[in-house]
Amino acid sequence: MRVVFFGTPEFAVPSLERLLQHADLEVIAVVTQPDKPQGRGKQLLPSPVKKLALDHNLPIWQPKRVKKSQATLTKLRETEADAFAVVAYGQILSPEILQMPKLACINVHGSILPQYRGAAPIQWSVYHGDTQTGITTMLMDEGMDTGAMLLKAYTPIGLLDNAVEVGVKLAQIGADLLVETLLKLAKGELEPEAQNSQAATYAPPIQKTDYFIDWTRQARQIHHQIRGFYPNCLTTFREQPLKILATAPLGEAYWSQLPPALQKLQAQWASLSSLAGSPGEVVSIIKKFGPVVQTGEGLLLLLQVQLAGKRPQSGQDFVNGTRLSVGEKLLTVF
């Protein structure tokens, strides 16, 4: 099977790797986003997918707008590909492109459709506290992740998993599912299943304000926000920005879901649960772990933070380095 691969970020790399490794699949070209300026020097750097494609001497096309690039459209048409495989490419394909391959355009989507259609399915799934997610392969149509579904694979989300960690896991699952989908599609072994649009939910692009922590919310809501939008969630500490990178909600509802080291804190819960403060206030400092912050409902243990201009550090190192005291407050950024 002759395949043109469309993809850009690290999430798409395992899928391209898996296609390149399979004897029955031939990647004939790669379409990826243009190089972007990064870092202080604003040096143009290739996407992760482009780097892999260069290593394999594949033809690489990087149109600014693929549906408007006549040169790219001509090249795509001339490939006479059996399938286009699309994994987090980052541009919408026109009806003209969707009709080019002999079999279909296949998309690898990071959710169990019709849940979380859109740009950030992994992040919003974690943000909403889902305990399960997965990958759906589908036939692409003109809508936003509305095409008929082909195969699905599921994976659990742990209480402390962040979106980056879930994404790494899903990238591997998606790679396997893409290969299986292409091979079964070629053999006519798949029966596309229409999505129930009435059950659809959406995962829009993340906005800057989504990163701001509101300490009046419940501990579990803040915890899901921090791991869903990792590593960008912000609060204010001593009038300076502070990123909160990892937390653990404390209480009877969570002990069984926490790792053994944190489960030991259950022995201190009788005294911890009696503490009270205003939202954002440090009400306790647990030796070897870090500060405990009062929220609008419940307590949140800060496991990892990052001061402006500094490297990430554990909650305990944060306490030691700043000489943090009980009674100090973290404030919401607005």
pLDDT digits 0-9 by tens, 210-229: 999 999 999 999 999 999 99
Burial of 23 (0-12, 13-18, 19+ CB in 10 A): exposed
Instruction: Tell which residue, 180, 152, 314, has the closest CA to residue 244.
Output: 314
Q: Which pLDDT band, with edges at 50, 70 and 90, does 103 fall under?
A: very high
- H runs (alpha helix) in 187-303: 219-228, 260-263, 269-272
Beta bridge partners of 104: 83
Q: Which pLDDT band, with edges at 50, 70 and 90, does 40 fall under?
A: confident
What global pTM score does this model have?
Answer: 0.95
- DSSP states along 159-193: TT--HHHHHHHHHHHHHHHHHHHHHHHHTT----B
Name all domains of the chain by residue range, CATH numbers in brackets: 2-203 (3.40.50.170), 208-331 (3.10.25.10)
Residue 116 to residue 152: CA distance in whole angstroms: 14
Q: Which helix (H) or strand (E) holds 307?
A: strand 299-307
Res 54 pLDDT > 70: yes
According to the model, what pLDDT value does residue 333 have? 79
Res 59 pLDDT > 90: yes
According to the model, what pLDDT value does residue 334 have? 66
According to the model, what pLDDT value does residue 310 have? 95
Binding site for (6S)-5,6,7,8-tetrahydrofolate: residue ranges? 111-114
Residue 193 to residue 113: CA distance in whole angstroms: 11
Instruction: Tell which residue, 159, 190, 149, 329, has the closest CA to residue 259.
Output: 159
Binding site: residue ranges? 111-114
Res 232 pLDDT > 70: yes
Instruction: Tell which residue, 93, 36, 34, has the closest CA to residue 66.
Output: 93
